[in-house]
Structure 1
Amino acid sequence: MMQSTRMTMTKLLLALACAGVLVGLAAADEEEVSMTVDEVVELIEPFGDGCTPKPLREHIVEMVLNKEDAKHESKCFRHCMLEQFELMPEGQLQFNEDKTVEMVNMMFPDREADGRRIVKTCNEQHKAEKDKCEAAHGIAMCMLREMRSSGFKIPDIKE
């Protein structure tokens, strides 16, 4: 059971990482399990195999660390992952509200209304963006800022 919970939480971690909301893994008993940037990068690297352009390690690190001024390749990797997790459907320039809120609710079950408001706000703020990589990155960074300012407990990730 613990292994199944850990695998589910790892998938959630990866999805939230690409959404810009990287949070620590939590076990079923709510005991926090921390991961290093290198460990998260190693988990995420295989998802880059199907991405164009294929990300270098430095691009994955930038995404994991939520660098606001990330390189375009890092932003494109975020978009590629969001597409893989169906949080930003192919051909779309905004996050899928329902799927994104569902992911957020897995870690913050009592904050659905806030999560929905944040996704709507960030999608709206970036609706004029025409570049899929810039849109993915902009919305993710907006969500991270909005969640922190709304009191979501999201730790800073250190190098």
Structure 2
Amino acid sequence: MMQSNRMTTTLKMSNLLLALACAAVLMGSSLAEEEEVSMTVDEVVELIEPFGEGCTPKPLRENIVEMVLNKEDAKHETKCFRHCLLEQFELMPEGQLQYNEDKTLEMVNMMFPDREEDGRRIVRSCNEKMKAEQDKCEAAHGIGMCMLREMRSSGFKIPEVKE
């Protein structure tokens, strides 16, 4: 039973990483800044949409689009979708209001293997900045937006997703 749960979690994490990696790479990845964008927002949304099936509230397409576009002023339902994804992949474990530092760092290291110390600093800093937030959806969104801002300001090559 334990092995089955571990396999399911690994499969889910692999699917999310694949979806996120495809989205990042195909939307104009950091490794190929001069290349044309080869994937639309709608295509990225279609990759991520199935992960919303088990979420409460179930996200509308507009919520998924807002999340893909990293809208700072996103609707609460969008923020809850972000939380749902993070919880599904144990990046923000159930009942927690902060990102799991080790698991989040693993994901960051997959995309930016030479930036582990910066990644750790950013995860810790953003968790700390949002530690007073008591709403799980607001916390998930706030930490995510903080990490995005901090990574960009620290020179991580994060692509801008265009509408």
Give the alignment's Cα RMSD to 1 decimal.
2.4
One-letter amino acid of the counterpart of residue 68, structure 2: V
Work out which of the residue numbers 87, 91, 101 in structure 1 matches 2:105.
101
Q: CA deviation at 1:24?
A: 2.1
Report what 1:4 is aligned to.
Answer: none
Q: Check whether the contact 1:13–1:25 (CA below 8 A) recurs between aligned residues.
A: no
Q: Check whether the contact 1:83–1:89 (CA below 8 A) recurs between aligned residues.
A: yes
One-letter amino acid of the counterpart of residue 137, structure 2: C
TM-score normalised according to structure 2 size: 0.81
Go from structure 1 to structure 2 and tell me whether the alpha carbon gap of 1:147 and 1:13 turns closer, same or farther (over 3 Å shift): farther
Go from structure 1 to structure 2 and tell me whether the alpha carbon gap of 1:48 and 1:85 turns closer, same or farther (over 3 Å shift): same
Aligned identity (percent) is 80
Q: Check whether the contact 1:68–1:141 (CA below 8 A) recurs between aligned residues.
A: yes
Corresponding pairs, count? 145
Report what 1:74 is aligned to.
Answer: 78
Residue 48 (str. 1) matches residue 52 (str. 2): yes
Cα distance between partner residues in 1 of 2:21 and 2:136? 18
Counterparts of residues 142-157 of structure 1 (less than 5 Å): 142-157=146-161
Cα distance between partner residues in 2 of 1:94 and 1:132? 9
Go from structure 1 to structure 2 and tell me whether the alpha carbon gap of 1:66 and 1:152 turns closer, same or farther (over 3 Å shift): same
Residue 37 (str. 1) matches residue 41 (str. 2): yes
Q: CA deviation at 1:13?
A: 5.3
Structure 1: unaligned runs, 5 residues or longer: 1-7
Report what 1:5 is aligned to.
Answer: none
- Partner of 2:53, secondary structure, is helix
One-letter amino acid of the counterpart of residue 160, structure 2: D
Work out which of the residue numbers 111, 115, 120 in structure 1 matches 2:119.
115
Residue 11 (str. 1) matches residue 16 (str. 2): yes
Cα distance between partner residues in 2 of 1:144 and 1:103? 14
Cα distance between partner residues in 2 of 1:15 and 1:122? 21
Q: Check whether the contact 1:15–1:82 (CA below 8 A) recurs between aligned residues.
A: no
